[in-house]
Homo-oligomer: A and B are copies of this chain.
Amino acid sequence: MVEYRRHPELNQIFSALADPTRRAILQTLTQRSATINEIAKPFPVSLNAISKHVMVLERAGLVRREIKGREHHCWIDPRPLREANTWLEHYRQFWEQRLDALEVYVAQKFKAAKKGITYGKLH
């Protein structure tokens, strides 16, 4: 049996990053902290939609919020980004090796196609 539930928080992080508006909100917050109104301004969607996106980012730990009177100040917490990066880095050596192999494979395929030979899959 595989052990595959060790990083439940990665589910929320990757899920939060899977939306272009949320990635753009993070980009905005790398410049400076901002209120929900300030965050929403450049987007062609409702304030309510932006507020929901911010909530998803909050649940993933990517955004922190502080309420001051009627204003909600948001800022980015970069730790989950580092965590996602750590997970991906685990595959770096693999993809570097594999991409070299892929180049060789594609070159072979290309040559074979020219000569009418069929090659097996890359492995």
The count of residues in chain A whose C-beta lies closer than 8 Å to any C-beta of chain B is 53
**CB atoms of B85 and A99 under 8 A apart:** no
Least CB distance, A49 to chain B, in whole angstroms: 13
**Cα distance, A98 to B26, chains bound together (Å):** 14
Question: In the docked arrangement, what's the CA distance between A18 and B13, Å?
Answer: 7
Taking CB as reference atom, which chain B residue is nearest A66? B121
Contact assessment for A23 and B4 in the assembled complex, using a CB-CB cutoff below 8 Å: yes
Contacts of A30 in B (CB 8 A): 91, 94
How many angstroms between the C-alpha atoms of A15 and B15 in the bound complex?
5
Q: Which residue of B lies closest to A74 (CB)?
A: B121
Contact at B94–A78, with CB atoms within 8 Å? yes
> Do A79 and B66 have beta carbons less than 8 Å apart?
no
A residues adjacent to B (C-beta < 8 A): 1-2, 4-5, 7-8, 10-15, 17-21, 23-24, 26-28, 30, 32-33, 42-44, 64, 66, 73, 75-79, 81-82, 84-85, 87-89, 91-92, 94-95, 98-99, 102, 121-123
